[in-house]
Amino acid sequence: MGIDKQFKLMQLSEDDLIADPIKQFDLWYKDAIRSDVPFPNSFVLSTSGKNNVISSRVLLLKDHSSEGFKFYTNENSRKGKDLTDNNNASICFWWDRLERQVRISGPVKILSSKESDEYFNSRPRGSQLGAWASDQSEEISSRKVLEDSYKKYDLKYKNKIIPRPEYWKGYILVPINIEFWQGRDNRLHDRFLYSLVNKKWRISRLAP
């Protein structure tokens, strides 16, 4: 049986919107942090490779700016291979306590080795070892395989600086569409789409 929830917390009008969608996102993102939304930086990344089969998974946003939205992953993973074949992707944030959703789409580019190195070096040691230990998205026979691999790299890099694996890279989604969705009652939700047209952002209201 489905759950029919009414959204009644807030409304969104065009007068509320900032002309720059990145600044609008930043405003909502900070609202989510202040509202104690669990993992406000979590988002669903959807990709599609040569076979046009869509795959989605939850990641964590590491930074955002006028340049785009940054995340890091294993280039040999399913999403990494998809992005190599087709760099168009979309990400979706859902902040339940605020009854808000943000959808963002555009091409994804690989960040420089320098930037990937800097972020990798800032990660906890355990996370660095995990990047070496896991052949992400590959089939393994048991958890023991994963744990033994972790122990191997833990020993290999004992009392040493752990280098970034070549396949572990940073990515940035450069937005061409950003949609802000505010839940309203009776399914008459407020939706506004920012579209990049001739290097300028155009705002339009969408029917829910």
CB contact set of 52 (below 8 Å; sequence gap of 6+) = none
Q: What is the mean pLDDT of residues 23-40?
A: 97
Residue where the block lists tokens 């800032």: 122
Tell me the per-residue pLDDT of 56-103, one tens digit each, with 9 for 90 and over: 999 999 999 999 999 999 999 999 999 999 999 999 999 999 999 999
For residue 108, is pLDDT > 70? yes
Burial class (CB in 10 A: 0-12, 13-18, 19+), 150: middle
Percent of the chain with pLDDT over 90: 95
State how beta strands 88-95 and 168-173 pair: unpaired
Name the nearest CA neighbour of 58 among 79, 37, 76, 86.
79
| 96 CA to centre of own chain | 17
Per-residue pLDDT for 111 more than 80? yes
pLDDT of 13: 94
**Tens digit of pLDDT for each residue in 154-205?**
999 999 999 999 999 999 999 999 999 999 999 999 999 999 999 999 999 9
Is the pLDDT confidence value at 2 over 70? no
Largest CA distance in the chain: 60
Q: Would you state the pLDDT for residue 9?
A: 85
Any idea which residue has 């074949």 for tokens?
85
What pLDDT is attached to residue 201? 98
* Per-residue buried b or exposed e for 86-111, using 16+ beta carbons within 10 Å of the residue's own CB: bbebbbbbbbeebbbbbbbbbebebb
What is the chain's length? 208
What's the chain's average pLDDT? 96
Q: Which domains does the chain have, with CATH numbers?
A: 14-123+166-206 (2.30.110.10)
> Mutual orientation of helices 143-156 and 125-133 as an angle, nearest 10°?
120
Q: Which residues are catalytic?
A: 187
pLDDT score of 146 more than 70: yes
Mean pLDDT of 22-30: 98
Please say if the pLDDT value at position 53 is more than 90: yes
Give the type of residue at 205.
R
Looking at residue 8, its pLDDT comes to 78
From its phi and psi, is residue 76 left (phi > 0), alpha (psi between -120 and 50) or beta? Answer: alpha
pLDDT, residue 5, reads 76
> Backbone phi, then psi, for 12, in 5-degree steps?
-140, 125
State the Cα–Cα distance between residues 208 and 206, nearest whole angstrom. 6
